[in-house]
A and B are shown apart, each in its own frame.
Chain A
Amino acid sequence: MMTSFEINGRTVSVRTQEDAPLLWAIRDEIGLKGTKFGCGIGLCGACTVHVDGRATRSCTTPVGAVAGARITTIEGLDPSGRHPLQVAWIELQVPQCGYCQPGQIMQAATLLKDYPDPTDQDINAAMAGNLCRCMTYLRIRRAIKLAAQRIRDQTAHG
């Protein structure tokens, strides 16, 4: 059975089985490789995408559970790849190996939506499920704060 949903603004129908992970459909069938496979059991955050605008682990979300939903991957977070988080990430040279970074950015985007001015505690807690084996956590935190500042400024002046 085909499952339809929207991904980065276009509607797709995938053959991936309803109870198979959304990540399978995204990487293998749709061919968007920005989202990474990490642990496969929802414990590392590398596969984080947005479902209806909120960070969700795609390796443990069944395809059937998102029928009709709006999926955003790192490729679709910003049309030109210049989301304030992405800009801050580059400016502060956050990544080392880079494997976890798409998931980190997608998770951080939801954090900023809920808490535009996050404290260290908020970042620690909301990013706790996104592991980075290169230990770039301090730069991730700085980049989130920088992006948060810019989004707030934008909103204030915009």
Chain B
Amino acid sequence: MRLGQGVGGGGSTEPHIIGLDAILSMSLALIGLHWNVALDWAHKRSPKLETHAVQFIGEPLAGKLANQCYSLFNYVKSLCRGRGPKIDAYQCQLFDCVLPARLRADSWRMPTFKRIVLGLAVVLLLGALGFSALAWRSAIAPINPPSGSSFDPNLIAKGEVLAGAGYCAVCHTRPGGQPLSGGYALRTPFGTVYSTNITPDPDTGLGRWSLAAFTRAMHEGVSRDGSHLFPAFPYDHFTKVSDEDVKALYAYVMTRQPVKAPAQANTIPFPLNIRVLQEGWKILFFRSGRYQPNPAKTTEWNRGAYLAEGLSHCGGCHTPRNLLGAEEVRRTYAGAVIDDWIAPALTDANPAPVPWTESELFGYLRGGITALHGVSAGPMSPVVHTGLALVPDADIRAVAIYFADLDHSIDRTAAVAATVGKALSTSGLGSGQEYDPDARLYAAACMGCHYNAGPTPLPERPELALNSALTLPDPTNLIQVMLRGIGITEGGPGLTMPAYAGLSDDDIARLGTYLRRTRTDRPPWADMENHVAAIRKQMSPAMTREGP
């Protein structure tokens, strides 16, 4: 016995859905769906059960439900009356599809308000039940922590490199904390999520996680106990990682020094903190599945794509997110704001004056510095200097090949020499006897280190006219670097930049405006001074004091 075999009525071709009737129509459809699912289930078990279902569950319950729905339907009809025959006909059509004639009855009456409330309550209940069924994941049985010797040393070594490529330690270590013991605060628009302890401590870490549980977390975003993980853990990327690599990662984390470090409570507010609701996010935005090679591309390209889209989750920072915090697939690598810095676009929309070719990408990802693009800074520094440090050249090269293809740099290399020449022609601006106070400020604060004589810029003298910090539509990165400087481990090897937090907001703003005006052909940044003040506010108190 199946539902949904009613005869369509009405001859309308242009259904016109409006507010309440749309909601109620959908509700009716939902009830029909659940009813079908229940009967299907019974049908699969035995014909006898199906009969029982129809008799004991079906007749009384479904009959009542149908009555209510039908009453509601009539109510809607009365509401729609006078709005034209099309609406009326559409209602009939929908209703006929959902409920069989034999369940329809117009005999059972309730007060209108009560009918609506009851109807909605039933719909909500059934919806919640269905959602819970979808969202439910079983716990995976805890195991006794495996001994270190049970893992193949080669697998552990491979896992160590992969853990670097995935930056596990960057997010799973609080500042000054024990590696991988968690507690790092990831600020999201919904609240702060604290990373968890992934050392093999049995009580507070992954000690009791089997390989199956670890793999499920990586591929499906589900914790060992069956609860859904927040997508602050980028399982939407890790789902692409091969089983083999997940196994190596497991071997690596399970052989680290166990650290007792209980998870810190997140500040995600109710009701967003209800983990079962993450199923909704997953239905909307998450597609599970390993990386599928693109047959039109080379093996190297595919290796780069596998790393970048999977474990290294480049899109996690460089792809803008929608209101629900999911990466916007249509704007992959279009650039985004992350941790108060701008992660520039990795497509041909990247604003660096010189295109990111394979060799420039390789140099930057390998050493954190190139002569034509400058140094790594901000949240990108640990990516290069902590994460990718152990990754072999071949893999870095593969990632470079992948991104050099995405940004079509090969089409733009012809202009490089001219661009560099033009940039170098501006390098000495401000060194003469100019009476431009902005130029004087630049000469005193910046020029000694940033001046390039040519014919090519020196990597140790980052050429500002070639730096995307000056050409981005927003001055955030430039202000960040000026205020914070660059530590010895952040940029290129052996290079530091002092922090200019001692300058006033006005002076920092003037420097930025001056550089934008003289070193680029882009329009001036608006509201520089407030921008500087806002960024200064995010810094630690010691860094925010202005000079004498």
Contacts and interface: CB of A to CB of B under 8 A. Distances in A.
Interface in A64-93: 64-69
Contacts, number: 126
B436 to A, nearest CB: 13
Given A114-B461, A118-B453, A127 B540 contact: no
A44 B503 CA distance: 13
Contacts of A20: 542
Interface string B444-467: 111111010100001011000000
A94 interface: no
B460 A54 contact: yes
Interface majority SS (helix, strand, loop, mixed), chain A:
loop
Contact of A61 (B445, B498, B542): B498
A57 to B, nearest CB: 4
A119 interface: yes
B496 A66 contact: yes
Interface residues of A, number: 43
Interface residues of B, number: 40
Interface in B266-312: none
Interface in B421-451: 427-428, 430-432, 441, 443-449, 451
Interface in B467-505: 485-490, 493-503
Interface stretch (A7-15, A24-32, A128-136, A142-150): A128-136
B542 A17 contact: yes
Contacts of B498: 42, 56-61
A65 B486 contact: yes
B443 A60 contact: no
A107 B451 CA distance: 13
B458 A41 contact: no
Contacts of B540: 19
Nearest to A69: B488
A42 B445 CA distance: 6
Given A52-B494, A67-B488, A121-B428, A128 B444 contact: yes
Contacts of B428: 121, 124-125
Contacts of A51: 488, 494, 496
Nearest to B545: A19
Contacts of A131: 444
A129 B496 contact: no
Query: A40, A41, A51, A68 — which one has the most chain B CB atoms within 10 A of its CB?
Result: A41
B444 A43 contact: yes
A44 B431 contact: no
A95 interface: no
Contacts of B111: none
A68 B493 CA distance: 12
B487 A65 contact: yes
B542 A19 contact: yes
Contacts of B548: 39-41
A57 B444 CA distance: 11
Nearest to A51: B496
Contacts of A42: 445, 498, 500, 502-503
B432 A61 contact: no
A54 to B, nearest CB: 6
B453 A115 contact: yes
B443 A128 contact: yes
A39 B443 CA distance: 15
A86 to B, nearest CB: 19
A53 interface: yes
Contacts of B427: 125
B499 A62 contact: yes
A51 B451 CA distance: 18
B448 A129 contact: yes
Q: Which 3 A-B pairs have the closest CB atoms?
A: A52-B494, A41-B502, A129-B448
Given A62-B487, A124-B428, A124-B431, 9 more contacts: A57-B498, A60-B499, A60-B501, A61-B499, A65-B487, A66-B496, A68-B488, A121-B453, A125-B427
15 contacts: A40-B502, A41-B548, A43-B444, A44-B444, A51-B494, A51-B496, A54-B460, A60-B498, A60-B502, A61-B498, A61-B499, A62-B499, A67-B487, A114-B461, A126-B448
